[in-house]
Structure 1
Amino acid sequence: MMRGLQRLKGGGTLPPRPLLKQVLAAWFGGLLAIAAMGGLTEWTATPWLMAPFGATAVIVFGLPDSPLAQPRNVIFGHLLSTVIGLVALKLAGPHWWSMAMAVATAIAVMQVSRTVHPPAGANPLVVMLGGADWGFLVSPVLIGTLVMVAVALASNNVLAGRRYPLYWGLPNWRAGS
């Protein structure tokens, strides 16, 4: 029991504080991405924003070198999790247990496809709580992720020494690849 509690103490140190120029670049990228989707919402009267995109912006602009921030993870993580939420909603309805199953399934599918993107784990909940239909997959999910990645491609390459993305690639479904 005590040994188990000892693990809760941690033991590492805080990561270094980012440089001011990195903080400002992340701020500006997040501002542009969310503003672009907000502007599109106003212009087209179609919803382009959803809450998980705020968390996506944190990862894509604040941690652009993370595997979680790469375009394949952002786009396919959101798409796969949304499909799972839509299927669960249609098959089981919006119950606490079906939401739990949908989120757990989204986690597993993102892991197997190597497209883990934590904000996308909220998509099944957004779909099921909002009663979304299949159009939600296109707007806001697909178009929103494409806008996010496009802004990230532009803003994350402004600073010297940054390269975004680190890699592209379609999801590979083979477990050994």
Structure 2
Amino acid sequence: MTKPAADPTPVETTASRWRSKAPAQPKPAVIARATVITAVMLLLLVGIGSVTNSVLFTAPLAATAMLLVAMHATPPAQPRNVVLGHLVSVVIGLLMVTAFDHHLWVAAVAAGLAVGGMLTLRAAHAPAAATAAVVVLQPVAPLTAVLVFLIGSVLLVAVGWVVGKLIPALRYPTYWW
């Protein structure tokens, strides 16, 4: 008689279940560099928000800054996704305000529609979903909204490009369009 084959499925233990599968922590120099670059980007955005009286617009652009610095090689961080994602979201937010006024439920629907618009244009950029929402929630002239997000996203891409030239490890962008 032959012995039955051993069960090839490994036994899961409590220790293996709780072990983190997260990536390793970056080196302190990488963390410090990312912190400084992001802070500089955010200071530029706060300046734009202060001048245009649209400080809430800083929030989605701040998330964009983090992507450009910490996840610079991913598709959502590339210039096409950043600029086009924010622009389509601004337009959708403005159209929703025009049709339904400034309400939380309108902001939620605008963010959802922005996701669909970005995916249709092959320009997914998660922070831009928040762009549609804040455009609905913060009353501001339509041209101001478009210009703040256009200038803000182009400025962030430009800073990312300069940093990528100065620090070879942060090669950015991977592609432009």
**TM-score interval (norm. to shorter):** 0.7 to 0.9
Range that drifts further, 141-150 or 33-42: 33-42
Alpha-carbon distance in structure 2 between the residues aligned to 1:62 and 1:47: 28
Residue 154 of structure 1 aligns with an amino acid whose one-letter code is V
Residue 107 of structure 1 aligns with an amino acid whose one-letter code is V
TM-score (norm 1): 0.79
* Aligned length, in residue pairs: 159
**Structure 1 residue corresponding to 2:109, chosen from 86, 89, 101:** 101
In structure 1, the residue matched to 2:23 is 15
Alpha-carbon distance in structure 2 between the residues aligned to 1:162 and 1:60: 9
In structure 1, the residue matched to 2:82 is 74
Identity of aligned residues (%): 32
In structure 2, the residue matched to 1:150 is 158
**1:113 maps to 2:87:** no
Alpha-carbon distance in structure 1 between the residues aligned to 2:27 and 2:82: 25
Q: CA deviation at 1:39?
A: 3.9
Alignment RMSD: 2.3
**1:46 maps to 2:55:** no
> In the TM superposition, what are the counterparts of 1:102-141 in structure 2 within 5 Å?
102-141=110-149
Considering only CA atoms, is the larger Rg found in Structure 1 or Structure 2? 2
Q: 1:11/1:110 Cα in 2 relative to 1: closer, same or farther (>3 Å)?
A: farther
Q: 1:126/1:21 Cα in 2 relative to 1: closer, same or farther (>3 Å)?
A: same
Alpha-carbon distance in structure 2 between the residues aligned to 1:160 and 1:53: 24
TM-score (norm 2): 0.79
Alpha-carbon distance in structure 2 between the residues aligned to 1:107 and 1:141: 16
Retained in 1: the 8 A contact 2:107–2:134?
no
**Structure 2 residue corresponding to 1:29, chosen from 32, 37, 54:** 37
Query: SS of 2:170's equivalent?
Result: coil
Q: 1:76/1:17 Cα in 2 relative to 1: closer, same or farther (>3 Å)?
A: same
The unaligned stretches of length 5 or more in structure 1 are 1-8, 170-177
